[in-house]
Amino acid sequence: MALACAATAASAAQPSVKETVDAAIAPLQAKYGIPGVAVGITVDGKHAFYNYGVASKATGAKVDNRTLFEVGSFTKTLTATLACYAQTSGKLSFSAPASQYVSALRGSQFDHVSVLNLGTHTSGLPLFVPDNLTNDAQLMAWFRNWQPSSPIGTQRVYSNLGIGLLGRAAAQSLGEPFRDAVQKQLLPAFGMTHSWLDVPASSMPDYAQGYDKHDTPTRMQRGELADEAYGLRTTSGDIVRYLDANMGVAPLDAPWQRAVACAHTGYYTAGVFTQDLVWEQYPWPAALQTLQSGNSPDAILKGMPAQALTPPLPPQTEALLNKTGSTNGFSTYAAFIPAQRIGVVILANKAYPTEARVSAAYAILDALNRSHGPGQ
């Protein structure tokens, strides 16, 4: 459905939504040689989709609304929402040690790492699962031997391992495998009908080919904690519906509404943003440079001091919430502003810098914000 903009004299002089999106995406494709891009926009629950280029250079198949992209760490927001669903249902305690839910870790440092530490990147765990860990037994042994390099809860260190363990704890508390909890409960609840942790054969023709920074074709290699930390394949339409639900625009059952509110709660400040459960939050309006700083490689690859918010910050509407996601051959950025009821997602089948993604999305959000006020 195309967006319908108010036909005022002021808006008539502004570029159309399509012109704004075209102007944001064309330079990205030209500069970074991105084969295909899918953009989804939501304004007050009305959606617009803009598709560019090809899902595969080998076949020439065009990007369309059914094209599946790897979204990398955007997956973590689903893991956070599932953990919040378990917590607000009384099955998971954020203040409890992680070892309470992952019994193999009892007697280790995880007797002192809370579930909340896992979900807010304040456990001290590093970013990547070591390459030499190829099965669950090896992973658990690594966890049992791990020692933090600084006091737990004092540093924000972005971590696939931490969010992976959060997903394990949530699934254990719910009494079912993580993949089942996501694919049978969470995705249907949010209307994400074309999203997969395990892509079925019937949807493989929709799966885009990814390309690394050297233009070599690549797709995600599944490893330990992939489902929890970076394994989702999805479409622009499904993410837009997910953003709507996160803004309270789309219908959502009460237990999942509580989960969303939990995931939008601010638990720590770190650098230029507030760390919610996985989501990163900025007061709105926010400057482009602030968002680029908060999403910079340093914010992901290096630790930064974290300060606990006591009490936690309730969900804010005058805020921008965002999340990046990357695999070797795909790039994602999504952001939304609850008070304005606007959101955007940009999916691409090539690795390219986060700074450029944020800049493109910001241009789109800024144009939507200027042409659309709350309640309009």
**CA–CA separation, 242 vs 252, rounded Å?**
10
**CA–CA separation, 204 vs 338, rounded Å?**
34
Residue keyed to tokens 């009305």: 46
Catalytic, out of 56, 73, 123, 326 = 73
Are the C-beta atoms of 181 and 246 separated by less than 8 Å?
A: no
The dihedral built from the CA positions of residue 15, 338, 228 and 119, taken in this order, carries a sign that is positive
Output the six-digit token pair for 162: 């931490």
The dihedral built from the CA positions of residue 240, 242, 247 and 250, taken in this order, carries a sign that is positive
CA atoms within 13 A on the CB side of 224: 20
Residue keyed to tokens 């965002």: 322
DSSP for 141-204, please give it: HHHHH---SS-TTSEE---HHHHHHHHHHHHHHHTS-HHHIIIIIIHHHTT-TT-BSS--GGGG
Are the C-beta atoms of 190 and 256 separated by less than 8 Å?
A: yes
Angle, in degrees to the nearest 10, between helices 160-174 and 75-88: 40
Q: How far is CA 179 from CA 40, 156, 183, 246, 265, in A?
A: 26, 27, 6, 21, 25
Catalytic, out of 50, 101, 158, 282 = 158
The alpha carbon of residue 15 and the mean position of all alpha carbons in its chain are separated, in whole angstroms, by 29
Is 73 considered catalytic here?
A: yes
**CA–CA separation, 146 vs 109, rounded Å?**
7
Q: Active-site residue numbers?
A: 73, 158
